[in-house]
Structure 1
């Protein structure tokens, strides 16, 4: 069974980009007549006419004189009589389709900063122009005089009108979508998204209305009912690998590639503390104990470290050395007496967290990407690059079941419902799969991601699940009913 698209909600998708092809940066725009279209690129503007009788296409060069430049966007009028071009130099050119000659150019006094990146011709008149600096301007007249303007974050990558033509939408390369009415010309934020790969996601304990994601360039807190971002935490020039929220919901703990563990206040995003040099090769995984007094970190060096966290001090409690590769996932049981770590060295280690010794080591011919405890905590399930999902006994580390998780791609993320009846997986095949735990069979398949799924999480209420991917998308899936 494939999930209905209507049951998938996109909090965000990958950021929009200008339509281009190849090194020539060719931009195409079809006219109302199927036999005419325009292409423009590096110092070239052409009108193509299709001869249906001979099935040939005839190009005609447009004369622009000294105004020729690198064209980024093209927009044609409804009657096909003219078309407008936006260039990297900040010019807007108007070209007659029949004569192939530039008939107007503007703005004359002040060029549009950082180039024209998007164009829209509304039926209400004028020309709406988006620029590389984030300015959206309403231009009128043959000289494209700016009458109204507004400013958004990031370069404008696309403009489109609403069906009733009383509003228009715009997208930016900062992963934002805005809406504006033609009359007011004031921007209203509609949706935001990550602009880089999303590496992890977590729900606070007992709260399904909020979840936290971390991407390459920021950490964000999302409000699920409105599917909007509530908080953004940014630290420049470093990458976030994993994120965790303590059980009391008071701290966001995160793992970073510069070897630091950073903690933030969830309500404001203010820094709480930093643990410097937590791991030599970066912190790659993190977990918090249920008493909120300890955090467990895994590093690129394969070490697992346990930290005592106080109100003002953070001290290293223990170092566990069994893995020889980067730690990819850490999970603890409900009473914090036991934990399991997965590593890219092909091992999973079950730890005694009271005596800080290894209880069992699981070996397999794979790079382990994810591990989960079953509700009863007598079994764990693992997966990774070998595309298999394996059930293991916690007591002796023996494999008790193996199922094929994917036909051709690595499985990167996994989570189990609170009742232990089903679990969800996602990986490089871009699919989200819901499994029956006892039967080991797929019950539903979700199709929606265009990039590799990196992590998944089922909300505490088991009503829906959230998946994140390498293209920056965050998708919310409705949990199918058991009936």
Structure 2
């Protein structure tokens, strides 16, 4: 609440930010460009309730207004006309308006549309090519046709066979046919898609069109046979963790609510999806031999999967009462260490055994890393401590204390130092031997640093967090060498591939970004 919600305009060719516009609070609900790209209209969420028109050339707001009358509901969508830079439409719960922009007086004036006794919640709008009428998809599963000039309801249908879970996307073709997507995944003239349809986009003169869904899938359709082709997949909620197999950079895995996904590094292609309904995977790791994926879940279970087939190989029930929040596999591929308390497990072919349980942490364990000799590990916690553990005697060897909620910890490759990051926005180097701080860097100007990873040669490390920036650091110099700007949400985790060629970062909005690492190994 009350935090600014930015509108970002991107330069598509340069892949860079053209303008960052800040007026809305909490959320931006919808956007629409004017037909000649002179203006942009933005709609704030229910807590903001305003419509703002922006001049794209000057990158400034022209004017704004409450989206609805005081007695009305809240606005959900906005759409510009196809031929007039000064006319756009807004709609939602209890409101449907045609707006006229008066640039010289810096005002927008609404015309309230009259739908009579028909009361509907409008989720999407499509404007006719000649701007004569508006089509409004409703949560009731029907479509209203409203005359643009007068704001009067013309007709509403279909009467008998309404769309299940409401109409969520509309696109009017030049032929006069209407594409309709519904909340149930039904798509007129097409087969059912995974979850609800959220958007439809036409390509070129109409040979193809694209459909987006609530499950973060993008489908391509041909007008000739209306058969769908799945061309892109993604997470539709926060990505919790990313893992890369030892000794290869061809694959990586991510986890989120309900699923684990394995991806090809060089292509944006999903190779495997492992789904556990109604559960959230908090942490994942590959065992060094590449024969299994270990994962920690919020139901307190550790699940081990085959990385090729996705078959469940082993389940450790009640591993941690409050959920498994971190996990790491030993180099010998026989033991794993899990967080939620720190526990060490021995894995056999079809069984498991708890070897040790260490309980010194007082809060959530956010990260665990194991030394190469498998004799020690380090755990980071929100209680402000990082503890180095003896994995043979199951006792603490050293404790690092700071005024922060630690988010991530990692060993320097030579293993005489550890690096930490957290809510204090600092990256700190620590001595493993006595737990004393060596160096402290200002890692971020705003927000928590959530992710940190170091290259195999120890020369560089990367960070990312609530400032949405991927930063590459020189370890010895303690300076930022490169900054990556692409994420729209807080960065949750990041990993550098084994050959330091590719960097993978994930964020709270479900995004997965692949970057060319700027200091690639000479080999």
Q: Could you report, residue by residue, the CA deviation over 1:388-446 in whole angstroms, capped at 9, with x for unpaired residues?
A: 11111222222211111112211111101111110001111111110001101000111
Contact 1:18-1:157 within 8 A present in 2 as well = no
Q: Normalising by the residue count of structure 2, what TM-score does the alignment of the two structures yield?
A: 0.83
SS in structure 1 of the partner of residue 379 of structure 2: strand
Q: Could you report, residue by residue, the CA deviation over 1:155-176 in whole angstroms, capped at 9, with x for unpaired residues?
A: 1111111134321111111111
Q: Counterpart in 1 of 2:139?
A: 88
Q: Counterpart in 2 of 1:162?
A: 203
| Larger RCO, structure (CA 8 Å, separation 6 or more) | 1
Given the alignment of the two structures, is residue 220 of structure 1 paired with residue 220 of structure 2, yes or no?
no
Decide whether aligned partners of structure 1 residues 315 and 129 sit closer, same or farther in structure 2, where only a CA change above 3 A counts: same
Given the alignment of the two structures, is residue 79 of structure 1 paired with residue 79 of structure 2, yes or no?
no
Q: Counterpart in 1 of 2:286?
A: 245
Q: Counterpart in 2 of 1:259?
A: 300
Shift of 1:295: 0.6
Decide whether aligned partners of structure 1 residues 117 and 462 sit closer, same or farther in structure 2, where only a CA change above 3 A counts: same
Q: Counterpart in 1 of 2:23?
A: none
Shift of 1:50: 4.5
Decide whether aligned partners of structure 1 residues 297 and 94 sit closer, same or farther in structure 2, where only a CA change above 3 A counts: same
Given the alignment of the two structures, is residue 384 of structure 1 paired with residue 434 of structure 2, yes or no?
no
Shift of 1:204: 1.0
Given the alignment of the two structures, is residue 459 of structure 1 paired with residue 497 of structure 2, yes or no?
yes
Residue of 432, 437, 446 corresponding to 1:394:
432
SS in structure 1 of the partner of residue 445 of structure 2: coil
Moved more, 32-41 or 465-474: 32-41
Shift of 1:53: 7.3
Given the alignment of the two structures, is residue 129 of structure 1 paired with residue 180 of structure 2, yes or no?
yes
What CA distance in whole angstroms lies between the structure 1 residues aligned with 2:184 and 2:422? 42
Q: Could you report, residue by residue, the CA deviation over 1:87-125 in whole angstroms, capped at 9, with x for unpaired residues?
A: 112212222223433334332441122211111112243
What CA distance in whole angstroms lies between the structure 2 residues aligned with 1:246 and 1:225? 22
SS in structure 2 of the partner of residue 420 of structure 1: coil
Q: Normalising by the residue count of structure 1, what TM-score does the alignment of the two structures yield?
A: 0.89
Shift of 1:476: 0.8
Decide whether aligned partners of structure 1 residues 72 and 224 sit closer, same or farther in structure 2, where only a CA change above 3 A counts: same
What CA distance in whole angstroms lies between the structure 2 residues aligned with 1:401 and 1:6? 40
What CA distance in whole angstroms lies between the structure 2 residues aligned with 1:43 and 1:226? 45
Runs (4+) of structure 1 exceeding 4 A deviation are 4-9, 16-21, 50-58
Given the alignment of the two structures, is residue 172 of structure 1 paired with residue 213 of structure 2, yes or no?
yes
SS in structure 2 of the partner of residue 150 of structure 1: coil
What CA distance in whole angstroms lies between the structure 2 residues aligned with 1:223 and 1:151? 27
What CA distance in whole angstroms lies between the structure 1 residues aligned with 2:198 and 2:496? 33
Contact 2:185-2:195 within 8 A present in 1 as well = yes
Query: How many residues are matched?
Result: 461
Q: Counterpart in 2 of 1:45?
A: 96
Q: Counterpart in 2 of 1:143?
A: none
Shift of 1:66: 4.3
SS in structure 1 of the partner of residue 266 of structure 2: coil
Contact 1:7-1:477 within 8 A present in 2 as well = no
What CA distance in whole angstroms lies between the structure 2 residues aligned with 1:431 and 1:225? 22
SS in structure 2 of the partner of residue 151 of structure 1: coil
- Return 5+ residue gaps in structure 1 as ranges: 10-15, 138-147
RMSD: 2.4
Q: Could you report, residue by residue, the CA deviation over 1:98-154 in whole angstroms, capped at 9, with x for unpaired residues?
A: 3433334332441122211111112243111111111121xxxxxxxxxx2322111
Q: Counterpart in 2 of 1:444?
A: 482
What CA distance in whole angstroms lies between the structure 2 residues aligned with 1:329 and 1:7? 36
Q: Counterpart in 2 of 1:112?
A: 163
Q: Counterpart in 2 of 1:34?
A: 85
Residue of 215, 220, 234 corresponding to 2:275:
234
What CA distance in whole angstroms lies between the structure 1 residues aligned with 2:413 and 2:442? 22
Q: Counterpart in 2 of 1:290?
A: 331
- Return 5+ residue gaps in structure 2 as ranges: 1-10, 17-27, 32-42, 47-72
